[in-house]
Amino acid sequence: MLRLALSWWNTPAYPPTLIFDIGDVLFTLSPTSIEESLERYLRNLLGDPVARGREYLQRNSRLLHSITDTPSPIILRENFAKLLILELANDKGLVEIEEHPRLWNFFRAGKGTLTTEVFPYDLDTTSIGLTIMARDEETVNSVMDEMLEYVDSDGIILTYFDHQRPRRLR
Together in a domain, 64 and 134: yes
Confidence of residue 19 (pLDDT cuts 50, 70, 90): very low
Q: What is the pLDDT, as a whole number, of residue 28?
A: 54
Are the C-beta atoms of 95 and 64 separated by less than 8 Å?
A: yes
148-166 tens-digit pLDDT: 999 988 888 999 999 988 7
Together in a domain, 65 and 138: yes
Together in a domain, 71 and 90: yes
Prediction pTM value: 0.72
Together in a domain, 35 and 68: no
Q: What is the pLDDT, as a whole number, of residue 1?
A: 41
23-75 tens-digit pLDDT: 565 555 555 677 787 788 888 888 888 898 999 999 999 999 999 999 999 99
Together in a domain, 59 and 133: yes
Residue 79 lies in a domain: yes
Together in a domain, 86 and 38: no
DSSP-derived 3-state class of residue 89: helix
Are the C-beta atoms of 106 and 122 separated by less than 8 Å?
A: yes
Together in a domain, 11 and 86: no
Together in a domain, 92 and 113: yes
In the chain, how many domains are there? Answer: 2
Together in a domain, 113 and 39: no
Together in a domain, 58 and 39: no
DSSP-derived 3-state class of residue 1: coil
Pick the residue with more confidence: 79 or 19?
A: 79
Are the C-beta atoms of 129 and 79 separated by less than 8 Å?
A: yes
Q: Which domain holds residue 130?
A: 54-147
Is the bond preceding 49 in cis, omega lying within 30 degrees of 0? no
DSSP-derived 3-state class of residue 147: helix
94-118 tens-digit pLDDT: 999 888 999 999 999 878 999 988 8
Together in a domain, 31 and 110: no
DSSP state of 151: B
